[in-house]
Amino acid sequence: MRWSHYYIPTLREAPRDAEVPSHRLLVKAGFIRKVASGIYDGLPLGLRTIRKVENIIREEMNRAGAVEVSMPLTIPADLWKETGRWDAYGKELLRFKDRSDRWFCLGPTHEEVVVDLVRKDVRSYRDLPLIIYQIGPKFRDEIRPRFGLMRAREFSMKDAYSFDVDEKGLEDSYRRMFDAYVRIFKRCGLEFQPVEAETGAIGGHFSHEFMVIAETGEDLIMYCQKCGYAANRERAERRRENASVHEEQRPLEKVHTPGKRTVEEVSAFLKVDKNRLLKTLIYKVDSGSLVMAVTAGLREINENKLTRFLGAERVELATAEEIENLTGAPVGFAGPVNMEGKVRIVCDYSVAEVVNGVTGANEEDHHFVNVNPGRDFAVKELADIAFAVSGDRCPRCENGVLMEKRGIEVGHTFKLGTKYSEPMECCFLDEEGNSRPMIMGCYGIGVGRTMAAAVEQNHDKDGIIWPVPLAPFEAVVILLNPTYPAQREVAEKVYSSLSGEGVDVIIDDRNERPGVKFKDSDLIGFPFHVIVGRKASEGMVEVKVRRTGERQDIPFQECTLRLKSMIENEKTVRE
């Protein structure tokens, strides 16, 4: 490729709305342009990287036995009504009518479409297992599109769906997809980690997220260095602390705490450590009965854990009125003392560690002090219902301790079971001739987000540093002064030799100052730079490795061999 004929509009300044490096750099380096909030053009360089990500994904999906199809972006509402998601999905689903007044939506995910496809044509256990995938656009009307391609509204996703006859089959398909994901992200040259995850709106009962490790990630990962346990903070479990507090229990006392409701206010007012506060939240369970959830001090209730512990569909905070009806006090003064028999009380593990604690007294402007769980209220249900934090005990091994790091979710694998196949009657005939719903899994990878995550993980003050497998071009030949015939000649020879040998190479043959050329190539992040300058007359070129900044003068005839081995090296090290 010749830069002078190509289209790489680099910018001096990043757009003002760009908050993270990948967004800033992908715009500045001429990979993407914004069309509307969360909606982007892919410029030639951006498209090349996207295609590279897609090809790696495609190769690994095919290798794992998945078959590629294409499904439409525009989906009739009827299919979504069959699963109930037309009503349940909320505003991320962009809905509209066609000229005949029929409702449609833009597909944010394709369970309904793929199930409709499979139920029409697949009838027998002999046709299963089956894994179908596509790579194509999705639309989600995200409430806060941001960070460029990281959280876009229209974005490219690889989504795969597995169909099996039983749980064991699903287990196999899931494992195959999981292993393919590991290969994909390794081949992309990314540092990543699969973690246990929540299931969210797509549903199902089991899932893993694939996280690219990066400071700027939106997700928090809790992990144990000892045994390798890793989970999204949303999901991360923890082990109960060994009781360690030895302190004499003092007599329960009610105190006046006018207008003090929050942990901060109460602890400051009473001059007690925040860890002694027993925070009480009241939840409505599946729009029905109320539950009191108690944690100690700074622990936050994890509503997913609480929901799972209760075996409920969902929980939501009770209204001020419901709280007042239950406790007899306004919001901010609830507590478990004297509530036995009136409401179900669930205590987090942390509650068991509290001695002489503080709780609301279920009376306006009053708290109890010297509250001792077990003595002053019965602790019948003690469970892990709070978010894990750094320093918590690992749930899987004996002495491990959880630590946290940030990540970007680039892929997600779910076991769905019959969540979609049952309502949509996607069934097969088993060996005995009985009709049974297929057992499904689903598996997504954000293509654009993977590209953005690669930038988050690989950049410096000068620009992007592409992992070789995702680089729009693996090498650039920088012709410093096109008006010098000797430089021209050497640059052209190196360029044609590299492209002849299958290296993805671009030649910077523009009439620009050397400073501009160096800056642009650093900004764009080509992994290898071949600089053809003054020494060209002696047959020498300079090879620069973008990642390390290493430079070396070599005879131009050796350039291709050197570069090829460096590129191969980078690729195989990662695989």
Binding site for ligand ATP (CB under 6 A): 109, 140, 142, 151-152, 155, 157, 200, 202, 409-412, 444-446, 448-449
**Closer Cβ to ligand ATP, 75 or 480, answer by number:** 75
Instruction: Give me the least distance between CB of 446 and ligand ATP, in Å please.
Output: 2
Query: Across 362-417, where does the E strand assignment appear?
Result: 366-371, 381-383, 402-417
> Residue 167: exposed, middle, or buried by beta-carbon count in 10 A (0-12, 13-18, 19+)?
exposed
**Which residue of the chain is nearest ligand ATP when measured via CB?**
446
Angle at 490 between CA 489 and CA 491, to 5 degrees: 90
Instruction: Give me the least distance between CB of 70 and ligand ATP, in Å please.
Output: 17
Closest CA to 559 of 545, 575, 540, 573: 540
Residue type, 333: F
Residue 198's region, left for phi above 0, alpha for psi from -120 to 50, else beta, is beta
**Closer Cβ to ligand ATP, 373 or 417, answer by number:** 417
**Closer Cβ to ligand ATP, 22 or 497, answer by number:** 22
Instruction: Give me the least distance between CB of 207 and ligand ATP, in Å please.
Output: 8
**Closer Cβ to ligand ATP, 358 or 410, answer by number:** 410
Residue given tokens 């050397």 in the structure block: 514
Tell me the sheet residues that pair with 222: 231, 404
Query: How is residue 403 written in tokens?
Result: 């630590």
**Distance (Å, whole) CA 115 – CA 126:** 18
**Closer Cβ to ligand ATP, 22 or 421, answer by number:** 22
Instruction: Give me the least distance between CB of 414 and ligand ATP, in Å please.
Output: 8
**Closer Cβ to ligand ATP, 449 or 459, answer by number:** 449
Query: How is residue 410 written in tokens?
Result: 């680039």
**Distance (Å, whole) CA 273 – CA 275:** 5
**Closer Cβ to ligand ATP, 155 or 526, answer by number:** 155
**Distance (Å, whole) CA 382 – CA 309:** 10
**Closer Cβ to ligand ATP, 157 or 301, answer by number:** 157
Instruction: Give me the least distance between CB of 6 and ligand ATP, in Å please.
Output: 27
Instruction: Give me the least distance between CB of 108 and ligand ATP, in Å please.
Output: 8
**Distance (Å, whole) CA 214 – CA 457:** 6
**Cβ atoms of 523 and 462 closer than 8 Å:** yes
Instruction: Give me the least distance between CB of 448 and ligand ATP, in Å please.
Output: 6
Residue type, 210: F
Instruction: Give me the least distance between CB of 244 and ligand ATP, in Å please.
Output: 37
Backbone angles phi, psi at 96, to 5 degrees: -160, 170
